[in-house]
Structure 1
Amino acid sequence: MKPDAEFLFRLADAAAHESLPLFRVPLEVDDKGAAAFDPVTEADRRAEKAMRDLIAAEFPEHAVLGEEYGASGEGGSCWVLDPIDGTRAFISGIPVWGTLIGYMEDGRATMGLMDQPYTGERFWAADGAAWLDGPRGPSPLKVRDTQALSQANLFTTTPRLFKGSALDRFLALEGAVRQTRFGTDCYAFAMLAAGFVDLVVEPGLQPYDIVALVPIIEAAGGVITTFSGGRPEAGGDVIAAATPALHEAAMALLASD
């Protein structure tokens, strides 16, 4: 038996049961970064453990990769978990963090979910369709038909993540688009799928940062690859675009020589 969307929702509910009560309350923050601040909280740990326990009970043969507890198990079926993507936003009381739940078969992301329990929004994809379940009820996700960089809204976490010549290429892209906004982590990818953002570029991602978002972007009609045009499931430098034309134009500025 393979997992379905209903199991995605059960995992998200289990994570929200742990994370939501700890949002906007005094909370101890640990720093797991060696060179830069990389926060983690009890909410991250509890949420990931709750999801891992549920996977172990229902699909004990599946592998799991999570941000807080690493990799376990082997095989072609793998869950990729980020219990709180955007912990900096979480500890700042800003509701642009989300729980990322991705499912891969033989290295390819086939189902994904981004849950924001505080706002009551759940972005998900399964069986080739992408949906938003939110306060206004369920609605299909569809990217915007933006063809030109001059009409595009670009998001990235911060330009400080781009180093050396990569920063020059990012600044060239920023100069070509209509506007650039910063700092919304996984929420920017969700808004691209919903038709409000046109480009998201993020360097240095880990698999747990992106696997859940890949099926959502693709099922909504968007394009998501590495800066070199490869599949994004392994992370690295990732670009998501609303249309193939926009992806091609952005890639021409971002790709290294």
Structure 2
Amino acid sequence: MSDPTAADLALALRLADLADEISLSRFQAMDFRVETKPDLTPVSDVDLSVEREVRRVLAADRPGDAVLGEEFGGEPVDGRVWVIDPIDATKNFVRGVPIWATLIALLDAGEPVIGVVSAPALASRWWAGRGLGSWTARLGAAPRRNQVSAVRNLSDASLSYSGLGGWGTRVSDFLNLTKAVWRTRAYGDFFSHVLVAEGAVDISAEPEVSLWDTAALVVIVTEAGGRVTGVDGGPSPAASSILCTNAWLHDAALSHLAGSARRGG
């Protein structure tokens, strides 16, 4: 009997191939259109084209599954739902920065079981299936299994984030966390979190995210031995923020980020 999770993962990887073909062919093109969504974030015609193609294939191959995408919406359901971010880091994409990716996830009863992050401009892809491990491939190299780091002290840890915006009343707590670690870098967006899965970074955090930003990341990080919650410790990917760690450092990071809550601020 075939493994249904493996079959779903194979489909997700095929969807990523299709997305890469569309997005990479248009990256740094001079003719694509950029519009502004109601939340003032940019959306390009490439975002729309990628999500349309992914939805087309899912409608044919998994007609009984629901689909939730950043550009064309949908509603979370109790059963199986594919969650699509056609271009994560669209602002990078439209400015010619190569750190952007298509994120594809499958949730079953709200739990991520499949995650794929494909970054063709970086010639890199990360993927995982529940019980199947977490993997990375670079162009021309064989896939290798992801494993989070074994760093156990904040003072030895590397922290990556997307920026200082969005932290609100937690900004002082976040800055305190940055002072407690060995090294900080703002790799940003999906890249911070997949680097935790690889063991290259020990902690990553973002204060404001949506389901399509995080669903694929949860299974990639956890299958690599890491832990993922919101910055307040709430369950992910349902949380509106994300904290990824190598698991050893999670409680310490949460403690720093909960400082204002403990003070009543």
1-side partners of 2:252 and 2:163: how far apart?
A: 21
Give aligned pairs, total.
Answer: 253
Which residues of structure 2 form unaligned runs of 5+? none
The equivalent residue for 1:254 is 257
Give the TM-score normalised by the residue count of structure 1.
0.94
2-side partners of 1:169 and 1:94: how far apart?
A: 30
The equivalent residue for 2:107 is 104
The equivalent residue for 1:171 is 175
The equivalent residue for 2:48 is 45
Q: Deviation string for 1:163-221 (max 9, x for gaps)?
A: 12x11110110111112212521011111111111111111210000001100000001
1-side partners of 2:175 and 2:78: how far apart?
A: 41
Give the superposed CA RMSD.
Answer: 1.5
1:230 is paired with a residue whose SS is coil
Q: Does residue 223 of the first structure (1) align with residue 227 of the second (2)?
A: yes
Q: CA deviation at 1:4?
A: 2.3
Match of 1:68 among 67, 71, 75: 71
Give the TM-score normalised by the residue count of structure 2.
0.91
1-side partners of 2:38 and 2:150: how far apart?
A: 39
The equivalent residue for 1:151 is 156
Q: How does 1:49-128 map to 2 (within 5 A)?
A: 49-71=52-74, 74-128=77-131
Do the aligned residues in 1 keep the contact of 2:210 with 2:240 (CA within 8 Å)? yes
1-side partners of 2:122 and 2:234: how far apart?
A: 33
Runs of 4+ in 1 over 4 A off after TM superposition: 72-75
* Structure 2 counterpart of 1:124, one-letter code: W
2:99 is paired with a residue whose SS is coil
2-side partners of 1:178 and 1:88: how far apart?
A: 29
The equivalent residue for 2:35 is 30
* Structure 1 counterpart of 2:152, one-letter code: Q
Using the aligned pairs only, state the percent identity. Answer: 34
Do the aligned residues in 2 keep the contact of 1:110 with 1:126 (CA within 8 Å)? yes
The equivalent residue for 1:162 is 167
Do the aligned residues in 2 keep the contact of 1:205 with 1:238 (CA within 8 Å)? yes
Do the aligned residues in 2 keep the contact of 1:44 with 1:68 (CA within 8 Å)? yes
Do the aligned residues in 1 keep the contact of 2:28 with 2:94 (CA within 8 Å)? yes
